[in-house]
A = this chain, B = another copy of it.
């Protein structure tokens, strides 16, 4: 079923909502809530914000998305990469106080949401296409490495700073002597539990007779168990005295309405970061949503997703949150848990609100090391350096894009890394299309097929040069085209006709049209006519709207065979 575009997708699925769907949605909501709480607290830590902001970012933004988003199962909230980018963006501002830092986070969410909303209303979702897969994978890999390294301090009870290797590594090394043993042991235990429950637990549960889906879902709740157990242990044995850092008092109650700043100076400082955050969050969300929708022969509307995410982020800015997006793991859990409509997300948000209201004060004794371990296990699977080897084997262009992204993200930070990756991909792509594959062709004897003279025994003539161009002609390759044709002509003194075979030319833009006419004029001056053959319908339509045909020294032939027959 293809969904029609409308500002409030709830209008389409809300109409036939029934009891069965309600039950499915409520069940999914409970499972997602259990998974989201530790993750939300942890990502707030990554972003350098108080843990409750992670919860707040999972309430109103998630509710708002269910009204405006086009995906049935996307679960919106804090995600790893955006949390890191938030920390890096705010860290660059050199803010005076914690309060200013929090306002800057609200403002970043607001600006990023406004940017998404504007793109959505202008239907500019295609901008996300400028991020290639290798760049996205490379960026996420490098970001995950940075996130893991930035959490090592909490695992060991030491302190480090920065969001690049040159900052993080030295600051970890100088404090390596101050490792707190109790913290390190607690971390080790938590990490072992989490890694085991991720890989071994569902196998065990299945051996015990549980279905694989239920076993996987149960394994996903292991972080909550870690949170509860370590909190109780630290509280009961008063391990704070042994040097284990805890989260401390968290204000209970729902978020009170907040305001992003409207200071022009702050906006200028955050605008670039907000735009990058928006694009990255959008790319991640759309990839997840598109994949899950296809599983059910459904589609999502990228422009509607922009509006949904935009509204969510604006909501985050006004309800004590920070930048949010559709997360991969939580959306998959939502899907696997059987969410039937976006209402599942709405119910999950209500449940999180209830937990925030009732149980949050109990989290004061939650060790930071537990959250750090949760984060590390969550982002561990994002690290994929194999992409480097794959890209290397496949093409130099893709390798350049991915290696630039990874190296610069690690060395110079997330914003430089992703911006450079996008730029390098674009320049490399343009470079490739600016030097298209061009073959001199001849006729296979006895057929009407024309093939590369270098690969086949074909019939050619001294007076006719047939050139097949394997690329659309546009401004980036017109100069190359002129150059290569003049070069071929200069080597052939008996030449009378040049025929451009356009089977693979999907477009001729105005620059290319001008170039062809320039070539035609130049060749005409030395007694050579320029012809085209096999021009595609839409390309020909464009040329016919101009005086191209009357200016071309030669003719346009329907087929290469006809051209050679007429001119030989």
* Complex interface residues of chain A between 507 and 548 (CB less than 8 A to chain B): 507, 509-511, 513-515, 518-519, 522-523, 525-526, 536, 538, 542, 545-546
Contact of A506 among B2, B471, B487 (CB under 8 A): B471
- Which chain B residues lie closer than 8 Å to A483 at the CB level? 290, 299, 302
Which 6 pairs of residues, A with B, have the shortest CB-CB distance? A132-B475, A133-B511, A398-B510, A294-B522, A132-B511, A129-B476
Nearest to A397 among chain B residues (CB) is B509
- When distances are taken between beta carbons in the complex, the residues of chain B under 8 Å from A526 are 295, 297
Do A134 and B510 have beta carbons less than 8 Å apart? Answer: yes
Q: Quick one: which of A128, A394, A431, A437 has the most chain B CB within 10 A?
A: A394
Say if the beta carbon of A386 comes within 8 Å of chain B.
Answer: no
**Interface size counted on chain A using CB atoms at 8 A:** 77
Minimum CB–CB distance from A141 to chain B (whole Å) comes to 15
Instruction: Tell me the minimal C-beta distance from A304 to chain B in angstroms.
Output: 12
Q: Are A297 and B489 in contact (CB under 8 A)?
A: yes
Check: A166 CB closer than 8 A to any chain B CB.
no
- A290–B2 alpha-carbon span in the complex (Å): 53
Q: What residues of B have a CB within 8 angstroms of the CB of A128 in the complex?
A: 479
Tell me if B504 and A506 are in contact (CB < 8 A). Answer: yes
Could you tell me if A432 and B507 are in contact, using CB atoms closer than 8 angstroms?
yes
Residue A436, interface by CB 8 Å: yes
Chain A contact residues: helix, strand, loop or mixed: helix
**Cβ of B130 and Cβ of A430 under 8 Å apart?**
yes
When each residue 464-504 of chain A gets 1 if its CB lies under 8 Å from chain B and 0 otherwise, what string results? 00000011101111111011001101110000000000011
User: What residues of chain B lie closer than 8 Å to A295, measured between beta carbons?
Assistant: 522, 525-526
Name the contact of A395 in the complex, choosing from B1, B132, B510, B525 (C-beta under 8 A): B510
Nearest B residue (CB) for A394: B510
- Asked whether, in the complex, the Cβ of B486 is within 8 Å of the Cβ of A294, the reply is yes
> Please, what's the 1-or-0 string for A293-329, where 1 marks a CB less than 8 Å from any CB in chain B?
1110111001000000000000000000000000000
- Confirm or deny: A374 has a beta carbon within 8 angstroms of a beta carbon on chain B: no
Given contacts A129-B476, A295-B522, A398-B509, 14 further A-B contacts (CB under 8 A): A133-B514, A134-B510, A290-B479, A294-B519, A294-B522, A298-B486, A299-B483, A394-B545, A394-B546, A395-B509, A395-B510, A395-B542, A425-B475, A471-B506
Asked whether A298 lies within 8 Å of B490 as measured between CB atoms, the reply is yes
Q: Tell me the minimal C-beta distance from A540 to chain B in angstroms.
A: 13
